[in-house]
Chain A
Amino acid sequence: MLTKRIIPCLDIKEGRTVKGVNFVELKDAGDPVELAKIYSDEGADELVFLDITATVDKRKTLLELVEKVAKAINIPFTVGGGVSTVEDVKMLLGAGADKISINSAAVKNPAIIDEMAAEFGSQCIIVAIDTKNIDGIDFVHTHGGRKPTILKTQSWAKEVSDRGAGEILLTSMDHDGTKNGFANEITSELSSMLPIPIIASGGAGKMVHFWDTFTAGKADAALAASIFHFKEIGIPELKEYLSGRGVSVRTTF
């Protein structure tokens, strides 16, 4: 049976993990490769690396990191953050990434989704959508959720799916950082409407939030960062909890 996926997200700046990490097993808290290995051994189903480096030479450092990660871990991983051209995707996949995620660049030039899907296949193109509810309407935001657009989230999600996105990573800016749970209403709406998997993101604080998003939210996967990094929730206990409540997850590996 196909299982629901748990995906830790690692923020990367200049080749190092950003958010404070206090794993006792870690020799170097800022080493993304070491952290990735721990998550993978604990039963994470996939990993996402989000590069937030703003410098001009970010590409080289990122590619070196992607290659190191690909050599070290045996589960799939996605790389995002500033991906904008077919050439970017080619280099990241060439370095060993399994999938890439694209966000602002797709909003700016939607045809890039078609180009990327045609060149590399839909299976490796994730479109990340940052959404925020304004007066009862869901709007797409870009630039890390700071910049509102006039695009409605539902119609943009339909468009990216039609253009060949393989998955949607949906982050609710209203929920992100609150630890009050995922945005299950919009997640469920997109999941029911579209023929591709939806990864819920933003708002994870307790184990029950994952159960909520997999049931009420109809999410195919759930992504979180700080609760895993700060060890507020361990992946093995989360999976045991979900499995005990009837959600199909990968518990043996």
Chain B
Amino acid sequence: MQVAIIKYNAGNVRSVLYALERLGVEAVLTDDFETIQKADKVIFPGQGEASSAMKYLKQRNLDRLIKDLRQPFFGVCLGQQLLCEHTEENDTECLGIFPIKVKKFPAFDKVPHVGWNSLENMDSPLFKDLEEDPYTYYVHSYYAELSPYTIATTHYMHDFTALIHKDNFYAMQAHPEKSGKVGETILKNFLAL
């Protein structure tokens, strides 16, 4: 199986590579169009700021490439937010694969939302073999609103979208590569799609 991890100007991309290595899967970190198009699975990781990431993707036409992909695709953290329509982070238009808005957490409680929080209302083959309300590791200030595409929620101040799914596109706000066995199971389930 060929797994491509999209290389762009976001942090944390190597952690995903290491996580796949621990699962015995060799992946390539690449921004090469052909390699990405031919891959069996594509992972779009990332930590960082939305507008500079979108700018980088557009300059290299990676935005169009991503929209046209048909193989199972998994966005992580900022990768999930960028798949949505718009984010409040520097008022940025995103890829628009999901017609969902990304908002900033209100200042009622501490922001960023940092630490281990539970997944609820899980409904997807991605959660096969997981126990109820498993914990995953979050570190973020922006969240995707609840939508018909939401396949799991998490509660921080209010419920927000933990994972989304539409056609071949899946995405997750928490970091599966840093979420212990739970994260490994979700990655494994994605790779088995």
Chain A residues in the interface with B (C-beta under 8 A): 1-5, 40, 45, 70-71, 74-76, 93-94, 96, 98, 120-124, 166-167, 195-197, 220-221, 250, 252-253
Which residues of chain B are within 8 angstroms of A167 by Cβ–Cβ distance? 114
Q: How many whole Å from A41's CB to the nearest CB in chain B?
A: 9
Determine the residue in chain A with the shortest Cβ distance to B155. Answer: A1
A250 to B115, CA, bound (A): 10
A75, A123, A220: the one contacting B139 at CB < 8 Å is A123
Q: Is B11 an interface residue (CB 8 A)?
A: yes
CA of A70 to CA of B19 in the docked complex: distance in angstroms? 9
Q: A3-B116, A96-B14, A196-B110 are in contact. List 9 more A-B contacts (CB 8 A).
A: A2-B117, A70-B15, A71-B18, A121-B47, A123-B114, A123-B140, A123-B141, A166-B114, A167-B114
A1 and B134 alpha carbons, distance in the complex (Å): 11
B38 within 8 A of A: no
Alpha-carbon gap, A45 to B180, bound state (A): 9
Task: Report B160-193 residues with CB < 8 Å from chain A CB.
Answer: 175, 177-184
Does A2 contact B19, Cβ atoms closer than 8 Å?
no
B184–chain A nearest beta-carbon distance, Å: 6
User: Contacts A121-B49, A123-B140, A195-B110 known; A98 to B116 CB distance under 8 Å?
Assistant: no
Instruction: Report whether B116 and A197 are in contact in the complex, using a CB–CB cutoff of 8 Å.
Output: no
Contact B115 A45 (CB under 8 A): yes
| Binary CB contact string for chain B from 31 to 64 against chain A (1 if under 8 A, 0 otherwise) | 0000000000000000111000000000000000
Contact A1 B118 (CB under 8 A): yes
Minimum C-beta distance from B80 to chain A (A):
15
B134 CB contacts on chain A under 8 angstroms: 252
Please tell me if the beta carbons of A2 and B183 are within 8 angstroms of each other in the complex.
Answer: no
Complex alpha-carbon distance, A5 and B155, angstroms: 17
B116 and A45 within 8 A (CB): yes
Write 10 A-B pairs (CB below 8 A) sorted by A numbering: A74-B178, A74-B181, A76-B175, A94-B14, A96-B14, A98-B12, A120-B48, A121-B48, A122-B112, A250-B116
Tell me the smallest distance from the CB of B144 to a CB of chain A, in Å: 17
Residues of chain A contacted by B48 (CB below 8 angstroms): 120-121
Q: Which residues of B contact A166 (CB under 8 A)?
A: 112, 114, 139
With CB as the reference atom, state the residue of chain A lying closest to B77: A123
Chain B proximity of A177: nearest CB distance (Å) = 27
Alpha-carbon gap, A23 to B19, bound state (A):
26
B residues near A3, Cβ cutoff 8 Å: 115-117, 135
Say yes or no: is B22 at the interface (Cβ < 8 Å to chain A): yes
Contact digits for B103-122, partner A, Cβ 8 Å, 1 yes 0 no: 00001001111111110000
B12 touches A74 (CB 8 A): no
Q: Residue of A at shortest CB range from B182?
A: A253
When the two chains form their complex, are residues A74 and B21 in contact, meaning their CB atoms are under 8 A apart? no
Residues in A neighbouring B184, C-beta threshold 8 A: 74
A251 to chain B: closest residue by CB: B135
Q: Which of B134-149 contact A (CB under 8 A)?
A: 134-135, 137-141
Cross-interface CB contact of A123 among B112, B117, B156, B177, cutoff 8 Å: B112
B129 interface residue, CB < 8 Å from A?
no
Q: Is B131 an interface residue (CB 8 A)?
A: yes
B135 and A75 form a contact (CB under 8 A): no
Q: Give Cα A21 to B140, complex, Å.
A: 35
A253 adjacent to B181 (CB under 8 Å): yes
The 8 closest A-B pairs by CB, nearest first: A250-B116, A123-B139, A250-B135, A253-B180, A2-B117, A76-B178, A3-B116, A71-B18
User: Closest approach, in angstroms, between the C-beta of A122 and any C-beta of chain B?
Assistant: 7
**CB <8 Å contact, B18 and A2:** no
Q: Say yes or no: A70 contacts B115, CB within 8 Å.
A: no
The answer, among B12, B116, B131, B180, for a CB contact under 8 Å with A2, is B116
- Complex-state Cα separation, A32 to B48, whole angstroms: 29
Contacts A98-B12, A252-B134 given; does A220 touch B110 at CB 8 Å: yes
| Complex contacts, B12 vs chain A, CB 8 Å | 93, 98
Measured CB to CB, the nearest residue on chain A to B175 is: A76
